[in-house]
Structures are given as C-alpha cells and as structure tokens.
Structure 1
C-alpha cells in the first residue's frame, strides 16, 4: 500500500459529518513556507535539510556532478509534468513505440521504466485487496480445520500458519473492535462530491484549495450551503492548502479500503491482478509480464514522490527537487491496496539491471507471503552496489516489534542487508499545530529498525496534471527526501558505495535541539535516539561534508567501518 500519511487517508467517522476528520493534516494558521523541507534552521528558521548550503559547498569545492539514475517503485508518474518531463529517464537502448524489445531485456518498449501491474492488452490494475485478505482465503482450506496435524510440517508450513493466524485476526477481528459506519461514510463522500460540483461551477475553476474556498464569497443559498459542507473538513483537519481533487481522491480511496475490509469478513477478495496481468504469480521465474504504461490509472503518489527527489531545479516552475542531476526511472508496482511480493522483487531487479544506483520504495504492508523473493532481490541489489530507501510506515507503531514489509532482515537468518535505509518522518513544530514536535505524529519508529528521520509533513511537490503542485505527507514523502540526498551525494562523489552513502547520511544526521514526542503518544517525550538508530534528522550539508572526507580509493575500509558501526547484523 502506498505509504501516504494516515493523516490524509485515515478517516475517523464517529456517526455524524461534523465529526469526520483526518488524523493529521496541514494547517493554514502557520507560516510554514512551501518547500520548508529544503531549508536550513540557522539561515531560514525551519528544520529542513539545508540543501542550499550543501550546494554552496559543492560550488566552493568546484565539484562537477555526474548524472545519477534513481528508480521509483510506486503507483506511476505523470511523464508530461512541466517539472518532471526533462528528468524522466529514457532508455537509450529502446526505440519508442516500435513494438520490439530492442535492448533484449524481456520488456518491450520500456522507454521510461516498466509497469508490473499492467496487462499486455493495455489495461492496468488500479485497485487491489489487503494482503491479509489474500493470505486468509489462500490458506483457509489448509489451516481452518478442527484436527490440525502439524507434526510433519515443513518450515514453509510453519511460516504460512503463523502468517495465516495473523491475517485471520486482522480480517475477522477479536470481537471488541469498533467498526466503521460505511453507510455514513458514503453519505459524507456523496455530500462532498455534490458540493464540489456546485463549487467548481460557481468558482469557475475545476481545482481549488481550502484557502481558495475560504475566501470565496457567494450570496447564492445553494452555493453557500455547498461551501459550508465542503469547507468544514478542510478547516477541522487543518488541510487548507490541499486541493479539492486531492481531498476527494484520498477520501474515495479510504472509503474503498473500508469497503474491502468489511467485505473480506465474508467474501474472498477479487483477484484484480490475475484478471489483468495474467502471469503465473506463484512462479518468480515467470517475469516478463506487464506493459510500458508508467502513468496508468492513478499516478498521484508516484508523481509527488518523484518531484521530491528530482523535480527540475532553478527553472522557475513550481518547486525544486533535491538532486539537480538525476533521472527518474518509474517502475509501477504499487496499486490502491497492497502490493504483491513478486512485483516488488522483480521491480527491484529491473531497476538494478537497468542502471539505477538508488531505489525509492514508499510503500509497505503487514504481511509478506513471498518474502524470500524480495529478500533475494535485495541481496541482488546489494551485490550490484544499489542503495534501497524504504518508508517506515504511518501507524505510529514501533517497528522493532510490529511487522513492516519489505525490510532488510533476511528471512531465517541473522543477516541484515547493508544497502538499506529505513526512514521515519520528522517535522517542523509548525507543520502540525496539534502535535508540535520534531517528529511527525503518524510516523512509525524503532531504535533498531528505523535508521534516520527526514521531513515528511506538509511536503510540497509535483502532482499529476502537467502543472499541478500540492502538499502531501507521510513517511512516503520522507523516504524520497533521503533518496534525493543519496542521489545528490552520488552526483558529486560517484565512487562511493551504497554502504558509504548510508554511512554519510546516518552519521551526519543532526539530533533535534530537544526531546521529541513519541509518535502516537502526545504526552511521552523521548530522545530521537530512543526511537531510531542514528538519533538524528538528515542534513544535506553535513552529509556532503562527510562524503568529501571519504576516499573512494579506500572504499573497502570504509565499507568495513559502515558495517561495524551501524551493524549489518540484527542487534
């Protein structure tokens, strides 16, 4: 599932429309500027990553940049966006549109990347089920029996049973959890859609923000009523700079997910992927499937992530990405729902085989039935010198104890991949007026499993539509901040290994000036080192200075430093 903030997706409905709210959001009552995540505390007053100071360092050193390819495994990307079209990767070995696999990699016309959740007929997967529902019904006949004999079980049988029990609890519940009122959700959504239609006509534009709506004046009773209905959730949830389209898109997705959860108690989930993709999902060697449509059904999430990493800098349009000499390879593998392990494993391998040096993965789920395939792909990336960046998740949970997949911990082994960074979401205290911390209220954390924190609240970036921009938040946004920094380091010090880049990012991370709020615990103050390995928020200036001290001719020694200090073994 795309790791957007549950602040944007988590609808809390307590029986009446005025109580519908997002758990976290963006406030119009602050002066937090667009692009605050790039700024410097000393120079600008905001807890960003000091990217301008980092570029000043490279200019002072008279360093020349070398282009870096970053793969984004996500929902899709708007390849025609004004701030992205010049930085979208184009496969130099492929002739566009000729229907021939010119580069002989098994993927026909993979001009800008590949879509592993598309069909050969051009249709694409948009929606999919929870992994828990898929697992529960897949193993129900095998394990849901009265006389269960486990005496001759293999290790796979034991793993599958434990996974099935967890899925069953999630799907069937424990009898005490409160259920979402789907009828009320649909009424709220319908009221918002109707009001939006009226407002678009009255305001004379198809897209507007909560701020635009707040200043809009009308004497028409129907329009005034529509304004009141639609403005309330923006104000109540402090998302005034979100657009109407983004709000309705996220709200609709949440309603869809709640419907799927309710349906899964009685009915096996629809196999969306099988209907469209038509590969043998149980065979990892059946790998040449999908299509080349990397925009597909819903590219909002992937477009936003891509812009954070590398939207064209200095062109006077919209916003600036972090890295100034990158190309973005889009690999579509993440639907509205939980991703499939096979698609993720093959997406990682595709990225590695086609030259990516950094892979951003802003998605995650609670179960991984084919983790061994993903682990194998992670080890493959490690062997080829590719750095993997993963979002920690948005359940304000301790992922030292709560499952979060994918992860770098190799199944049935003490080994932890050395080319992996797990990212939690930091914040400026102004970004969440109801929480006010250097941590984001929604972020997952973990003293062992979360490596660093990076800005993840109110992140302004590209949105689909050619010229659209807006704020989203989540560890989905924090991960590409780190991916952008990794690419920036590699631009100017291309000889560094993934382990050295990881070393630079983590050892230069800056501890916040005070204790932070433990995500999900308003009254519990902790050191950031209590909930992450590095105990710091990434800083591009400090990271590039550290990178300058590492000798590329001494890579082996520095790899050993990285492995010994941050440990490639699980503690």
Structure 2
C-alpha cells in the first residue's frame, strides 16, 4: 500500500509540472481526440492494481478495452486532460511501459477528413467543386491544401495569433478551447499580477472601451478567429486553418466595426508585449500614419508577422494606397481575396507591386456570435487564412523572421494565370507548399532570346460594344515562341477581359483594366489566339496591338 501511494504522489507532481509539454512523436499526425492506448508494465499490473486505478482517476480515464494478446495494454478514454497532456503524464509514470495516441490510418495514406460537421462547406480548405453559400460551383483543388498541410502540423499551442479586431467571442463552442489565457494573471482579483499595466487581462484587452473584456459585440472578429483556429475534430461546426494554435483577443473596433488610430496602435503594442507571433489585421482606413508605421516596425523588430487585408474597393493598391496593408515594412503581408474558382474576388484590391499574396475570401463559412456560423466575404476573410498559414509555419520553424515568412508564402503560392499581373505572388497561397518549402514550377516559358519583331495592326472598336465575344489569331510559320505588344489597353476592370492562348489552347496571359503599353507573357508555339469578352455594362476604349515578336530558338 505504501508503494502504491508513492506512485500516486509521483503522478501528481509529474502531471502538475508537464501539463503543457509538447508531444513531438505524433506532431502533425492524425489521431482520435480524447483517447490513448497505454501499456502497463507486467509487474505493475499484478502488484499495484490500486495505484493503476488511482492513476486513471486523476486523468478521468475510462477503460474502453483490454487486449488479451498484449497483457497490460488498455484502450482508454480521458476527460480531465487533452491527449498531449495525458501522454506526457502516462509516459513519465514508472508503472507505464509506453503510451500512444489512437492514431488514424487511411487507405493509401490519404489524409482523413476532420469530423467537424460543416467542414464540407469550407471550400477554402478542401475544394471538391462544391457550391459556396451563394450556389456558385467551385473548381476542384482551388483551395489552400489544408488537409495536406495538417499532415505536417496542425499548429503549436505556443504560437499565438492576436486577432486585432472587434474582439472574440471567447465563449463560442468552437473557439473557447483555443483561446490564449494570460498565464501570469489571476482572474477577477482586481490586481495587475504580471505588472504589464493591465488589470485582469485574462483573454486580452478591450482598447475600444478601455476595460479587460475583449468579448466580441459585432461578430467580425469571431468570424476571423474561427478561420484562423476554430477547434478541429471536435464534432462541432467548422475547423480553422491552424486548429492547434491559440488566439489572443485584442479589441479596438467597437460594435459598429470602427475604431481609432490611438487604440489600434495600443492594440498592436499589447499583442507584441504579450507574446503574439502573428497579428491578424482584417481592417483598414485612413491615410498614411507615421504612428502606425512605427508601431508595425516595432512589431517587426520583435519578430512579429503583420498580416493585413488589402481592401475591398476593387482598386489597384500600387496607385491607390490602402492602409495598413500598404506600409512598406518587411513584416507586412498584404492579402487579396479569391473565390472558389481560383479567381480574384470582384471586390478585392490588388497590386503587382504592393499586394503580396492572395487567399480565399469570398463566401467563407466561419464562427459568429451565439455559437452560430455564417458565410462572410472580404479581404477580411482572406487575411485569417494567411495568418493561419503563418502560424502553421512558425509552429515548425519558429526561428524564421517575418520577412522570411512572407517570402516563403510568396514563392510557394500556386501560380494562377489571371493573378500574374495582379499579385506579387502571382497566385494563391498553398499551405502545404509553405510548410514543405515547395516552389511550384512556373507555367511561363523561359525567354529563349533571338526575338524578331513583326509589324501587326489589330484593334477593337473604340469604344468597344457590350456583350462582345470575339477572337483573332496570329500565326508565324516556323516560330517556337511568340509574344504580342499592346500599344494601348483599357477595359472595364474585373468585367471585360482579354485572354491569350497558345496553339494548343493553353492560356498564356489574361488582362483587364487600364494598362500602359506592354508585351504579353511568352506564348509557346507558332500560333496565338486573342480572345476578347465584354459584359453588358460599362464600355471602354478596348485595345490596340501594333506588333508581335517571334523566336525560332528551342
């Protein structure tokens, strides 16, 4: 009896000191939540049955099955600790030979689908061509490859994403488990226990109302938070991009969704001070502010990523700045929005010099107030996808600088033809590529050189007519590559398009909006077809082509 009691005391000490330890042996691998398999040493099974019972009581464990072929092996369900804590606890106990998660296996190594009941509506994470909330059918794989990324990691609890927004409903059933809680503050004792200047800041701080309750009273911040880190595999609602990280609530926007510069800067300062590695900023407004620029730069100096929405005005941020996403600071990641067809969302801002990446942001399902779920659209919805991917990457490579994180996202994006003149990354974020540092091959051929110019005149009517669908073909016998020069180009941005295809019908370039004279991307083969399509609304100048060039080199 005395020996059994010693085991119990040891268990209490071990559990208290290792509750937040990280289990690396199953990092990023799928397993059944709330269940583990424990193999007890044979001598412990025979000599100390009471100690084993006490051990189970501490973790709220219930034996689901005992295996006859492996004496001492038991399949147990736990209720007082998560899988990570329980494994640390059992593995450190002298009665236990080993403890493992209840791993999930699949045919041919295909990643399993989460059991969150609304996951099939989260096209941004796993696009099978399903319809979005408006009924628009998607395109298979027009997503961020979340399933594949989760095979690498679902996120580390030590990585904190601060949601600088309208707050977070930290009581939401799909969020509460992943909320950051200030470990050095005692709730409701009206003292600043950690000496950070904020009394009882348990979940974060409310800079809008100057109090310690950052609970969302609008819904926007909760929607953003669910996209970043809604709890996964809990048989409830949705799953976030990084369901293993934690969310810090930093509220500076009021219930109407507006806030002040002074409070925004205070929010950034607080989040950095309290250890956030990623700041999600799904908001914008105002002009250039040196105060804001200094706050973002200070975050950069502390190795903190600043993900920011590019804006919802269908404008070019290269010429019309949008803040805070347009600050030229190396930790800023400006995010445009895509739809479920891998197209730039019609409302999304863009900028081939200023908008770094694109991510799903059109009709995105996520958590809202009162334990409910709704679909929202905006670059506000695209930004948390990027914040989540950044958090996954920092879970695996915590020593990366913000600029290195941004470069990784840009270089590993899936190339999309229509983005090559719109976004620095020329494509949409791919979480799996980010984690594996895979740079997809570019579709544009390398420049072969040896170009010869040919004068060639081709124009649309000026102004072009509505509801136009017209094609023209350029052919040069013996050419291996072509490119076309547009002397003037002006179409209704986002609605009237010019597309160029090669001799096999593969898309080589796509343009819209107003552009100065330019060459198309290189076109394979001896034939190029120019397709022009306009809608029934605004009609503009159209285009003038004055020449093309060809090469006969391989």
1:451-470 equivalent positions in 2, closer than 5 A: 451-465=356-370, 467-470=371-374
Kindly state the Cα deviation for residue 489 of structure 1 after the two structures are TM-superposed. 0.9
**2:532 alignment partner in structure 1:** none
Tell me: higher relative CO, structure 1 or 2? Use CA pairs within 8 A at least 6 residues apart. 1
Maintained 8 Å contact 2:153/2:392: no
Match of residue 160, structure 2, among 69, 80, 105: 69
**1:503 alignment partner in structure 2:** 407
| Aligned: 1:84 with 2:4 | no
Kindly state the Cα deviation for residue 344 of structure 1 after the two structures are TM-superposed. 1.2
Whole-Å separation in 2 of the counterparts to 1:352 and 1:449: 24
**1:422 alignment partner in structure 2:** 334
Kindly state the Cα deviation for residue 310 of structure 1 after the two structures are TM-superposed. 0.3
Deviations 1:182-225 (A, max 9, x none): xxxxxxxxxxxxxxxxxxxxxxxxxxxxxxxxxxxxxxxxxxxx
Q: Could you say which structure has the higher helix fraction?
A: 1
Maintained 8 Å contact 1:338/1:365: no
Q: Compute the TM-score of the two structures, normalised by the length of structure 2.
A: 0.54
SS of match in other structure, 1:329: strand
Maintained 8 Å contact 2:299/2:305: yes
* Alpha-carbon distance change, 330 to 547 in structure 1, aligned in 2, over 3 angstroms: farther
Whole-Å separation in 2 of the counterparts to 1:462 and 1:347: 22
Two-structure CA RMSD over aligned residues (Å): 2.4
| Aligned: 1:343 with 2:263 | yes
Whole-Å separation in 1 of the counterparts to 2:150 and 2:391: 13
Maintained 8 Å contact 2:163/2:221: yes
**2:421 alignment partner in structure 1:** 530
**1:37 alignment partner in structure 2:** 124
| Aligned: 1:327 with 2:246 | yes
Match of residue 314, structure 2, among 381, 387, 396: 396
SS of match in other structure, 1:38: coil
Whole-Å separation in 2 of the counterparts to 1:318 and 1:502: 30
Match of residue 226, structure 2, among 307, 332, 337: 307
Whole-Å separation in 2 of the counterparts to 1:406 and 1:508: 24
* Alpha-carbon distance change, 424 to 351 in structure 1, aligned in 2, over 3 angstroms: same
Q: Name structure 1 gaps, 5 residues minimum.
A: 1-31, 119-289, 410-415, 430-436, 513-525, 549-571
Match of residue 540, structure 1, among 419, 427, 431: 431
* Alpha-carbon distance change, 496 to 296 in structure 1, aligned in 2, over 3 angstroms: closer
Deviations 1:158-186 (A, max 9, x none): xxxxxxxxxxxxxxxxxxxxxxxxxxxxx
**2:387 alignment partner in structure 1:** 483
Q: Could you say which structure has the higher strand fraction?
A: 2
Q: Which has the larger radius of gyration?
A: 2
Whole-Å separation in 1 of the counterparts to 2:127 and 2:225: 22
Whole-Å separation in 2 of the counterparts to 1:351 and 1:405: 19
**1:174 alignment partner in structure 2:** none
Match of residue 48, structure 1, among 137, 143, 147: 143
Q: Name structure 2 gaps, 5 residues minimum.
A: 1-118, 131-138, 440-554
1:288-299 equivalent positions in 2, closer than 5 A: 290-295=210-215, 297-298=217-218
Equivalent residue pairs, number: 313
Whole-Å separation in 1 of the counterparts to 2:179 and 2:127: 28
* Alpha-carbon distance change, 79 to 337 in structure 1, aligned in 2, over 3 angstroms: closer
* Alpha-carbon distance change, 54 to 327 in structure 1, aligned in 2, over 3 angstroms: same
Kindly state the Cα deviation for residue 58 of structure 1 after the two structures are TM-superposed. 4.8
Maintained 8 Å contact 1:378/1:408: no
